[in-house]
Amino acid sequence: MQQRRTLDQPYTNRVLLNGQLDTPRWWAPAVAILGIAVIIGLLVIGAMINKGLGVTGLGRPVYWGLFITTFVFWVGISHAGIMISAILRLTQAEWRRPVTRAAELLTVFSLLTALVFPLIHAGRPWRIAYWILPYDFARGIYPNIRSPLIMDPVAIGTYLTGSTMFLYVALLPDLGNLRDRTTGWKNSLYTVLALGWRGNPRQWKMQTVGGILLSALMLPIFVSVHSIVSWDFAVVPSVEGWHSTIFAPYFVIGAVHSGVSAVVTMMALMRWLWKWDDFIRPEHFDALARLLIVVATGWLGFTFLELIFALYGQDAPEIALREMQMFQWPWNMLFIIFFLTAYAIPVPLWLFKRVRTNIAMMFWTSILVNVGMWLERFLIIVPGLARRTPFVYTWEAYRPSPVEWTIFVWSFCWVTFLMLLFSRFFPLVPLFEQKESQVFTQDVAIGRAKVPAIVREAD
């Protein structure tokens, strides 16, 4: 971690605000294409709501399929933000600086997307009012707080609200910067959003102390959210493969694995698209890959534990499920792809520094991880239900319909669309954090070597 470039503040402003002060040539066509895809997806969702869930592949006994898999997947991706932003901020890891904003943003947009899936999965989304907010004083019926399906929206709502506020507070200094660099209606917009930010010591102190405080508050929420999502499954004793006592930590560490990988994907795209080579450097990918090796190996441990706990009881239905997951077509094919992409291919590759500092390799391996992590959720959710096919006299297991696949693809277009829209108005890399690293870092001579030393305050 000895790479460092001295970058002055006007240069940092010019380069990191290139998305807001100029429009990159690719931006409008990309947003237009994604916008069309988003509209198509919304039309399909509308048509599905109009026709009913019969247009999906859902049915007895597989009531939870692609939608719930994708819901868990996006909640998992959302764990990137707090993992990167809060933990690295609390530990004062220097390499967090270019990563935090994008990670927090990914949290907010992926949570927004995740929430869509249980909503549309309900078939009649307007009835959600009776499910989550049924303070119906006329009938005297209230939400069943004993159900994880109530705990879920409460936890995700808390995480989404907290993450959005965290994102906004950390944006204030950069909004002040944008206000100073713009004219016309944009200047008016940033003036209002910056709330009169000036950059006096009191405001900077609040940024520092508040950032640490919010990080500390968000961390327990981050752990609770995916734990509660896991309980959607773990508290169901009747479905083999779901009823597991280690699901909460297993889901959390899996979420961190997929979330941090998604941040790597995003960082590579940011570096290529906005040409931020001076700010998002190979050393950042190196650090993230080292982190991923640890997280992925921890996650693998939980995967094996989950399997061992399931088999140790010698429970016949449980053994039958595992046999189905791993040895029966098509689940065995999915299981092999899952294991190869989530761990066996990327992690050994990350052991080599040449791979860790190669942005293209990191980009593709991080995508592999998320292919595998999506399959992991699919293999947890669907086979447990599909195994019951003979009991309901259904001869074909679950097959997602084109409607479900379209909505699945829509979710990726939607998150990317929101990201690009955000990037047009707000910086994706926190400028003040970048500049702070320049102020706090001094080159110190040790023998004949010069190394960057970080100056830190005592408190």
Partner 1 sequence: MSTRSILGLFQQPEPAADAMDGLKQAGFELGSFDVLTGVPYPEGAFGEYVPQHRLFRFPAFGAIIGFTLALFLTSATQIAYPMVTGGKPILSVFAMLIIMYEMTMLSGVIATVIGIIFESRLPNMKPGIYDTRITEGWIGVVVTFDDDSRVAAAESVLNTAGALEIKHAS
426 interacts with partner 1 by CB under 8 A = no
Q: Is 181 in the site for partner 1 (CB under 8 A)?
A: yes
CB of 129 or CB of 195, closer to partner 1 = 195
Contact 383, 64 (CB under 8 A): no
Task: Determine the Cα–Cα distance for residues 421 and 425; give it in Å rounded to an integer.
Answer: 7
Q: How far is the C-alpha of 288 from the C-alpha of 131, rounded, in Å?
A: 40
Is 213 a binding residue for partner 1 by CB under 8 A? The answer is yes
Interaction of residue 217 with partner 1, rule CB under 8 A: yes
86 binds partner 1 (CB under 8 A): no
Q: How many residues are recorded in the chain?
A: 459
For residues 160-179, which are near partner 1 according to CB under 8 A? 161-162, 165-166, 168-169, 172-173, 176-177
Cβ at position 190, least distance to partner 1 in Å: 11
25, 146, 354, 448: which one binds partner 1 (CB under 8 A)? 146
Give the nearer residue to partner 1 in terms of CB position, either 396 or 457: 457
Is residue 21 at the binding interface for partner 1, with CB under 8 A as the rule? no
CB atoms within 10 A of CB 65: 23
Give yes or no for residue 411 binding partner 1 (CB under 8 A).
no
Instruction: Give the residue, chosen from 32, 33, 47, 195, that forms a contact with partner 1 under the rule CB under 8 A.
Output: 195
Q: Give every CB contact of residue 390 below 8 A, 6+ residues apart in sequence.
A: none
Binding flag, residue 138, partner 1 (CB under 8 A): no
Q: Which of residues 96-135 bind partner 1 (CB under 8 A)?
A: 135
Q: Which residues pair with 446 in a beta bridge?
A: 449
In order of 206, 311, 312, 321, 428, the CA distances from 315 in angstroms are: 56, 7, 8, 10, 51
Kindly state whether residue 354 participates in binding partner 1, applying the rule CB under 8 A: no
Answer for the pair 222, 82: CB distance below 8 angstroms, yes or no. Answer: yes
Whichever of 15 and 375 has its CB closer to partner 1, that residue is 15
Q: Does 198 bind partner 1 (CB under 8 A)?
A: yes
Is 435 a binding residue for partner 1 by CB under 8 A? The answer is yes
206 is a site residue for partner 1 (CB under 8 A): yes
Which stretches of the chain bind partner 1, using CB under 8 A? 8-10, 13, 135, 140-143, 145-146, 150-151, 154-155, 157-158, 161-162, 165-166, 168-169, 172-173, 176-177, 180-181, 195-210, 213-214, 217-218, 220-221, 224, 228, 432, 435-436, 438-440, 455, 457, 459
